[in-house]
Structure 1
């Protein structure tokens, strides 16, 4: 099964539409490299969550989390990686808090309760492994 592009929570502006079209092209042409535009200077003060790709095995989600915004404790079945592309977030799991800054990444096993809050306006890339 090929990759599936999904969009949730977009802003609806022209720039967002162009960005989605670029992702759609790359998601429907497996094996081609994807070049995501430079996000510096992007407004990260509004929450947004966009599923970039979804297959039977994984889901790739782009998250904008404004400073002070928190995602309450929750869990997902699959294993996850969370990469902070810009900003700073606090990730709570297993009674500990990990601080992620731009360029840093973490892994969490499936089913583990966790929470997230943005210390700064942040851009994140979340990968969820849907099947083992």
Structure 2
């Protein structure tokens, strides 16, 4: 069964509700050729190992608190805080509390490599 992605103009509820590892999962909200938006659930103690994506990303912490590893730097991102990372930046995420983040990935255009 295919995941439901939002359509143009569709209102999506990002309201906060109690997080349960059994009932809460990360959910792709929308994906186009230009960007993807994901409601990312990071339960307390969950470690998302160091990785990178080719496009720039933003993380908006809606609820909870996470540790963000950026190369040699470690910082925390708490509720109502937002961070931007350039494409290709290696990063990791660890849930310090049960957390919900809005992740947006901005894909590089196909013609960006031409030039």
1:35 positional shift: 4.6
Greater helix share, structure number: 1
RMSD: 1.9
Quote the residue 1:97 is aligned against: 74
> Do the aligned residues in 2 keep the contact of 1:57 with 1:130 (CA within 8 Å)?
yes
TM-score by length of 2: 0.82
> Larger relative CO (CA 8 A, sep 6+): 1 or 2?
2
User: Deviations along 1:89-111, whole A, 9 cap, x unmatched?
Assistant: 00011311121111101000111
Counterpart of 2:95? 118
- When residues 33 and 51 of structure 1 are mapped into structure 2, their CA distance, relative to the original with a 3 A threshold, is closer
TM-score normalized with structure 1 length: 0.72
Question: What are structure 2's unaligned runs of at least 5 residues?
Answer: 110-115
Point out 4+ residue stretches in structure 1 off by more than 3 angstroms: 44-47
The alignment partner of 1:48 has SS state of coil
In the alignment, which residue of structure 2 is the partner of 1:12? none
The number of residue pairs the alignment matches comes to 107
* Secondary structure in structure 2 of the residue aligned to 1:110: coil
